[in-house]
Amino acid sequence: MGLTKGSVGKNAVDTGLEIRRRSPDDRVVALAGNPNVGKSTVFNALTGMNQHTGNWPGKTVTNAQGYCKTNQHGYVLVDIPGTYSLFAHSAEEEVARNFICFGDADAVIVVCDASCIERNLNLVLQIMESGARVVVCVNLMDEAKRKKISVDLTLLSQRLGVPVVGTVAKKKRTLKELVAALDQTIDTPQRREPMHIPYPDAVERALALPEAVLERGNLGRLESRWLSLRLLDCDKALTRELSTYLGTEFLRDEELCKAVDEAWEVLAENGIDSEALKDLLAEAAVCHAEKLCRGAVVYGTPTQYSALDRRLDKILTGKVTAYPVMLLLLVLIFWLTVTVSNIPSGWLSDVGFWMLERLSEGLYAIGAPPWLEGVLVDGVLRVLVWVVSVMLPPMAIFFPLFTLLEDAGYLPRVAYNLDRPFHRCNACGKQALTMCMGFGCNAAGIVGCRIIDSPRERLLAILTNSFVPCNGRFPALIAVLTMFFIGFSGGFIGSVTAALLLTAIILFGILATFAVTKLLSVTLLRGEASSFTLELPSYRRPQVGKVLVRSIFDRTLFVLGRSVAVAAPAGLVIWLLANVTVGDMTLLSHTAAFLDPFARLMGLDGVILLAFILGFPANEIVIPIMLMAYLSNGTLTDLSSLAATKDILVANGWTWATAVCVLIFFLFHWPCSTTLLTVKKETGSLKWTALAALIPTLLGIVLCILFTAIVKIIAF
Amino acid sequence: MKEPIKICELSVGDCAAVYHLQNAGTMRRRLQDLGLIENTVVECIGKSPGGGLGAYLIRGAVIAVRDEDGNHILVTPLEKDG
């Protein structure tokens, strides 16, 4: 459900999969399925974890594991990325395929969407063919019921020869039967007769030849029939995996190679070449799935796409309405964020500063040294209260709002609407999805870029992801906007202006995304746009209550934790810089003076630039660091409201032009350390990581310098 | 029986049966994975507002495909019933 603390920040970085059993008797169960069938919801319900779920295909991009205890067994459940088939076409699908086929899972739960079970069965059949023990979980039964689709689970189970359980993963009790079926499957000692997908005669005759040889060897848990097909299919990546799994000697076996050659002769006699074979195999699976469903799945309406979905689509993706609605939604979200966050903001600030005063009095009363009060209260804690009262509320409100849109299934529609401009930039429409994820957290957005199959287009998306301000930069933008462009009178007009200005800034960021994507696609990452398919899932009613509680709770803890972890050392650094004197100036003055000339060129000052540099670990502390630095030099110490904060800034030479430059630089500067680490991890290259930092930084510097120059020229 | 046309030439609301897939490589496999093989019945659900993308109902799921890929999917339009 939306981004959670487990899916953003450093947790977004995939650390590879190492199965962690709690006891040697634990069984490993893979959770497979098509994209967007509620796999992660099933996973969360079974393990009690909070794996990020959202209503868009390809959302699970990393293997996650969790633990599930039943009466009989302990299970390590592995949530693998969604895939449409075992014929892997992308790096992501390869991961899924390898884990299902060679991961030595004791069983595979294949999660299916009850509304399009026919297509889902295609994957079920392929997994069963490979020899895995399968439990079929037909999820989203409630949604199917609404669409008047009835699924005869017993009949399907009979036809497939494996347990088929219907679930509504949001309702935990419906999973009891699934767990029971899993226990039963694990406890059944002998393997069931593996599923045979019937192929055309010529293919059957051909595959029988290598199969006869294979049956004599030790194949682990792989099926000889499946393996024989894969040898004929000669998928290079798969062959590599096979030689790791079975040993290179096994595949070089003379008799086997001869049998494969003979099989190819049989195929060739029937006019079947390698491409035709792939076609035949794929078609056979689809046709078999269709046959299995005949009579078992009954559609109560002539069409499977509901009237409500159609009506929503007409508005959300209609020719005239799509873009205005998108813009309106953006403004609405920002307006709600600005308006609602004012309430807890004032309250938190009052409480926070009241507590600080008490603490100061307390320290004075027990005779603590003045420097302790300086570091603790004036430095670290004051900034912390500022972060909590000014930065936290917008984050805690924007986040769930965004998550609601995600859960409802709107994000794929954004990608659908925005494909044209991305196409023009020779990029993939799915980049819109990763851009949206970036609003939540850039690191999460960058991991999400895995949904883009083409490596070139994926890099484009990674390098431009930080052009949309993440949740950590939003509140800073709002604060600067409020202080310098909207004023503190508040009211409806004020909040609407704030929302509109914020939308304009975001649009500017999106514009930069397109411009830079285009620029990169004709220079460093030259190439044509490649093919892709984008699934538009049914709209779902988001679990409003759960989303609100979860993401506010998660956000609050996450931001608090990060602020404490980052603001405290930063506070210490600032305090030291401000109090250690070299020559006749403090270190802070030295550093700021050193940065000052260049910063002035950009319309900033040395302190602002220093704050951006020190804010590298977390963007939400950039403004607090500025304040800390200003305060350590001056006498103004009132931080209790934004108006007071503005006084401090103005006293230190800020004008509206400074504010504009700060806004620009907030939008375009180096991504935070976590984001860069993620880029390094995802691209495996220092060069791309450096570019991911350089591109936005250069853009920001150039824009700031240009803006400052123009202002100066006009002023003269 | 009508003449085959390109899938992206379908109007919103039109149904058609797949006549032939001319796509090659990964895209061909991807479409087959989605259940798009000869004789599969599809319905055009919508066109993207910016153009260049069509959404089709394929075996219960709505899949968007760019027109330049849709150019290679030939379909036979079906008579609307009733």
Domain boundary among A607, A636, A654: A654
Query: Which residues of chain B does A323 touch, with a Cβ-Cβ cutoff of 8 Å?
Result: 49
Number of domains in chain A: 3
Residue type, A241: E
Categorize the per-residue pLDDT at A694 as very low, low, confident or very high, splitting at 50, 70 and 90.
very high
- Using CB atoms and an 8 Å cut-off, which of residues 503-532 of chain A contact chain B? 529, 531-532
Categorize the per-residue pLDDT at A501 as very low, low, confident or very high, splitting at 50, 70 and 90.
very high
Give the ipTM: 0.95
| Domain match, A547 and A580 both | yes
| Domain match, A601 and A641 both | yes
Domain boundary among A635, A654, A673: A654
| Domain match, A260 and A353 both | no
CB contact A33 to B (< 8 Å): no
In angstroms, rounded to a whole number, what is the distance separating the alpha carbons of residues A312 and A319?
13
Number of domains in chain B: 1
Q: Tell me the CATH number at A63.
A: 3.40.50.300
DSSP state of A11: G
Query: Which residues of chain A does B33 touch, with a Cβ-Cβ cutoff of 8 Å?
Result: 84-85, 87, 122, 282
CA distance, residue B2 to nearest chain A CA (Å)? 22
Q: Do B60 and A283 touch (CB under 8 A)?
A: no
In angstroms, rounded to a whole number, what is the distance separating the alpha carbons of residues B63 and A84?
13
In a domain, A468, yes or no: no
In a domain, A678, yes or no: no
DSSP lists the bridge partners of residue A111 as A33, A137
| Domain match, A537 and A622 both | yes
A303, A417, A535 member nearest B43 (Cβ):
A303
Q: Which of B22, B47, B53 to mutate to test the interface with A (most CBs of A within 10 A)?
A: B53
* Better-scored residue on pLDDT, A577 or A675: A675
In angstroms, rounded to a whole number, what is the distance separating the alpha carbons of residues A425 and A513?
10
Categorize the per-residue pLDDT at A638 as very low, low, confident or very high, splitting at 50, 70 and 90.
low
A85, A303, A536 member nearest B33 (Cβ):
A85
In a domain, B41, yes or no: yes
| Per-residue model confidence (pLDDT) at position A13 | 42
* Model confidence at A715: pLDDT above 50: yes
| Domain match, A18 and A150 both | yes
Q: Is A654 left (phi over 0), alpha (psi -120 to 50) or beta?
A: beta
In a domain, B10, yes or no: yes
DSSP lists the bridge partners of residue A137 as A111, A165
| A495 Cβ contact list (under 8 Å, min separation 6) | A335, A338, A339, A342
A5-47: pLDDT as tens digits: 455 544 444 445 677 888 888 999 999 999 888 888 899 899 8
Nearest to residue A514, comparing CAs of A418, A438, A439? A418
A115, A289, A420 member nearest B51 (Cβ):
A420
In a domain, A539, yes or no: yes
Helix A622-633 with A642-651: angle, nearest 10 deg: 60
| End-to-end CA gap in chain B | 18
| Domain match, A266 and A127 both | no
In angstroms, rounded to a whole number, what is the distance separating the alpha carbons of residues A604 and A704?
8
A565-592: pLDDT as tens digits: 777 777 777 777 877 888 888 888 889 8
Categorize the per-residue pLDDT at A634 as very low, low, confident or very high, splitting at 50, 70 and 90.
low
| End-to-end CA gap in chain A | 54
| Domain match, A127 and A157 both | yes
Please name the residue of chain A whose CA is at the shortest distance from the CA of residue B61. A116
Please name the residue of chain B whose CA is at the shortest distance from the CA of residue A119. B35
Tokens 């999106």 label which residue? Answer: A510
| Per-residue model confidence (pLDDT) at position A10 | 47
Q: Do B62 and A303 touch (CB under 8 A)?
A: no
Query: Which residues of chain B does A429 touch, with a Cβ-Cβ cutoff of 8 Å?
Result: 53, 64, 66
Q: Do B35 and A286 touch (CB under 8 A)?
A: yes
Query: Which residues of chain B does A416 touch, with a Cβ-Cβ cutoff of 8 Å?
Result: 48, 53, 55, 64
In a domain, A563, yes or no: yes
CA angle A647, A397, A311 (to 5 degrees): 135
| Domain match, A101 and A45 both | yes
In angstroms, rounded to a whole number, what is the distance separating the alpha carbons of residues A129 and A117?
18
Cα-based distances in Å from A577 to A102, A570, A571, A610: 56, 10, 10, 11
Q: Which two tokens stand for residue A43?
A: 């996973």
Query: Which residues of chain A does B22 touch, with a Cβ-Cβ cutoff of 8 Å?
Result: none
Q: Are strands A74-79 and A27-33 parallel, antiparallel or unpaired?
A: parallel
DSSP state of A390: I
CB contact A533 to B (< 8 Å): yes
| Per-residue model confidence (pLDDT) at position A1 | 40
In angstroms, rounded to a whole number, what is the distance separating the alpha carbons of residues A322 and A510?
17
* Model confidence at A485: pLDDT above 80: yes
* Model confidence at A563: pLDDT above 60: yes
- Using CB atoms and an 8 Å cut-off, which of residues 399-418 of chain A contact chain B? 416-418
Residue A574 sits in which domain range?
A: 322-425+473-502+525-654
In a domain, A450, yes or no: no
CB contact A279 to B (< 8 Å): yes
In angstroms, rounded to a whole number, what is the distance separating the alpha carbons of residues A147 and A126?
27
In a domain, B38, yes or no: yes
* Model confidence at A2: pLDDT above 70: no
Domain boundary among A654, A671, A686: A654
A205-240: pLDDT as tens digits: 999 999 999 888 777 778 889 989 988 887 778 888
Rank A298-312, A630-644, B29-43 by mean pLDDT and report only the highest. Answer: B29-43
Q: Three-class SS of residue A637?
A: coil
* Model confidence at A159: pLDDT above 90: yes
Q: Provide the mean pLDDT of chain A.
A: 87
Lowest mean pLDDT among A93-102, A430-439, A518-527: A93-102
Please return the burial class of A582, using the count of CB atoms within 10 Å of its CB with bins 0-12, 13-18 and 19+: exposed
Residue B72 sits in which domain range?
A: 5-77
| Domain match, A340 and A390 both | yes
DSSP state of A654: -
Q: Tell me the CATH number at B69.
A: 2.30.30.90
Backbone φ and ψ for A90, nearest 5 degrees, come out as -135, 165
| B73 Cβ contact list (under 8 Å, min separation 6) | B6, B7, B8, B18, B21, B22, B23, B31, B36, B65
In a domain, B82, yes or no: no
Residue type, A672: C
| Domain match, A489 and A617 both | yes
Q: Do A417 and B66 touch (CB under 8 A)?
A: no
Q: Do B26 and A87 touch (CB under 8 A)?
A: no
| Domain match, A544 and A575 both | yes
Query: Which residues of chain B does A534 touch, with a Cβ-Cβ cutoff of 8 Å?
Result: 53, 63-65
Q: Do A119 and B66 touch (CB under 8 A)?
A: no
A256-273: pLDDT as tens digits: 999 999 999 999 999 999
Categorize the per-residue pLDDT at A658 as very low, low, confident or very high, splitting at 50, 70 and 90.
very high
| Domain match, A211 and A165 both | no
Q: Which two tokens stand for residue A172?
A: 């935990």
Q: Do B49 and A279 touch (CB under 8 A)?
A: no
CB contact B17 to A (< 8 Å): no
Q: Which two tokens stand for residue A706?
A: 């240009």
In angstroms, rounded to a whole number, what is the distance separating the alpha carbons of residues A7 and A626?
29
Asked if A151 and A138 count as a contact pair (C-beta separation under 8 A), the reply is: yes
CA distance, residue A320 to nearest chain B CA (Å)? 7
Q: Do B49 and A322 touch (CB under 8 A)?
A: yes
Query: Which residues of chain A does B69 touch, with a Cβ-Cβ cutoff of 8 Å?
Result: 531
In a domain, A343, yes or no: yes
In angstroms, rounded to a whole number, what is the distance separating the alpha carbons of residues A631 and A202?
83
Rank A232-236, A297-301, A462-466 by mean pLDDT and report only the highest. Answer: A462-466
In angstroms, rounded to a whole number, what is the distance separating the alpha carbons of residues A706 and A716?
16
SS3 track for B22-75: CCCHHHHHHHHHCCCCCCCEEEEEEECCCCCEEEEEECCEEEEEEHHHHCCEEE
CB contact A534 to B (< 8 Å): yes
Categorize the per-residue pLDDT at A198 as very low, low, confident or very high, splitting at 50, 70 and 90.
very high
